[in-house]
């Protein structure tokens, strides 16, 4: 299966973001990509919007999902995209939607871990999700959905693996800063290595974010990557055969001894 992490610099202009996404989708389809992962906030950059974010999300989320679904159906390619889903209140969800190659929505994941760190408070304007982590079947693979700050919580990724995920999709707007690029690369490789799984990570390249989208194999080898460019695709072929090879020599999932049902 061929996968791609699509990198763009989302803006506060919904129409402009859609044009960029459509171009990325068409380029990925021309390269015979089966699954395209887009960054967090691909729909809309929240910082700097003129209207309340909750109002924009209520008005625009449904249209965004319909737009992505149309692209998936037209190209025959599964797409994972992210944006702001309206709620009854002022704070929308930060949501990832998974669309299959027929244009059918297969799952949505509302970000569990909001970015309340490094003197930033995402919870001031976003409602946290309250459901369990999500695994969805796309393009013949079981895909676990991760949203940005979730990456710092290894138990979430392990839960996805325990649900049967054989590929982890990460949509992120990883904010730049001291050690942040190093953390991003280290955490992506760690999630791949500790669960011997593929990781496809799409990073926003908006002004405050680092980009650096990449595909990491189950042994922690970066198979394709981008830098800070505002547009691009990191493309790689992923295979169950590679996963099986790594797990044969590094059976960490079989070797686990911690009984998580024990109450301390």
The residues annotated with a catalytic role in the active site are 40, 111, 148
Asked if 2 and 34 touch (Cβ cutoff 8 Å), the reply is yes
Q: How far apart are CA 126 and CA 216, in angstroms?
A: 29
In this structure, what token pair is assigned to residue 199? 């990781």
Angle between helix axes 53-75 and 14-30 (nearest 10 degrees) is 20
Q: How many helices (H) and strands (E) does the chain have?
A: 6, 12
In this structure, what token pair is assigned to residue 111? 């970000």
Where b means 16+ CB within 10 Å and e means fewer, 189-224 reads bbbbbbbbbbbbbbbbbbeebbbbbbbbbbbbebbb
Q: Three-class SS of residue 223?
A: strand
Asked if 208 and 47 touch (Cβ cutoff 8 Å), the reply is yes
């Amino acid at each position: 299966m061929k996968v791609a992490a699509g990198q763009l610099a989302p803006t506060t202009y919904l129409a402009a973001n859609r044009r960029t996404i459509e171009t990325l989708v068409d380029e990925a389809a021309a390269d015979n990509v089966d699954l395209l992962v887009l960054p967090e906030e691909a729909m809309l950059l929240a910082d700097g919007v003129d209207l309340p974010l909750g109002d924009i999300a209520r008005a625009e989320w449904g249209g965004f999902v319909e737009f992505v679904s149309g692209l998936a159906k037209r190209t025959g390619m599964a797409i994972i995209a992210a944006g702001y889903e309206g709620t009854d209140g002022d704070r929308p969800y930060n949501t990832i939607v998974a669309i299959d190659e027929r244009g059918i929505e297969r799952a949505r994941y509302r970000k569990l871990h909001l970015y309340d760190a490094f003197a930033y408070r995402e919870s001031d304007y976003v409602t946290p999700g309250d459901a369990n982590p999500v695994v969805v079947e796309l393009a013949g693979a079981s895909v676990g959905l991760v949203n940005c700050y979730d990456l710092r919580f290894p138990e979430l990724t392990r839960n996805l693996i325990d649900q049967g995920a054989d590929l982890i999709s990460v949509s992120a707007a990883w904010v730049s800063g001291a050690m942040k690029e190093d953390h991003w690369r280290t955490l992506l490789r760690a999630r791949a290595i500790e669960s011997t799984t593929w990781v496809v990570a799409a990073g926003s390249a908006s002004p405050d974010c680092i980009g650096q989208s990449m595909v990491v194999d189950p042994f922690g080898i970066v198979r394709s990557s981008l830098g800070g460019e505002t547009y691009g695709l990191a493309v790689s072929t992923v295979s169950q055969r590679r996963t099986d090879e790594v797990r044969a020599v590094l059976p960490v999932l079989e070797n686990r001894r911690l009984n998580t049902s024990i109450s301390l």
